[in-house]
């Protein structure tokens, strides 16, 4: 019994919880500005693409699983 208690006391504590991420946006809310690496079928773009570059225009974001990877 003593060995079990000693072993349990040697176990590291659980890692702290990560800080909460940004709150989810409500439908119809204005999206915050962000920048991401851009890509075309010819390769990646030299400068990042910013959402603010398209202010006042309709923007559709498309995410592709394993796009532009060797996977």
> What is residue 33's predicted lDDT score, i.e. its pLDDT?
92
CA distance 8 to 42: 56
Strands 39-40 vs 35-36: parallel, antiparallel or unpaired:
unpaired
For the entire predicted model, the pTM comes to 0.50
pLDDT of residue 9: 63
Point out the residues of the chain with pLDDT beneath 50: none
The pLDDT value recorded for residue 31 is 85
Q: How does strand 39-40 pair with strand 49-50? A: unpaired
């Amino acid at each position: 019994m003593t060995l079990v208690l000693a072993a349990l006391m040697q176990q590291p504590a659980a890692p702290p919880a990560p800080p909460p991420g940004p709150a989810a946006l409500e439908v119809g809310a204005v999206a915050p500005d962000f920048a991401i690496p851009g890509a075309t079928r010819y390769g990646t773009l030299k400068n990042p693409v910013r959402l603010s570059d398209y202010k006042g225009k309709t923007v559709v974001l498309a995410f592709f699983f394993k796009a532009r990877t060797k996977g």
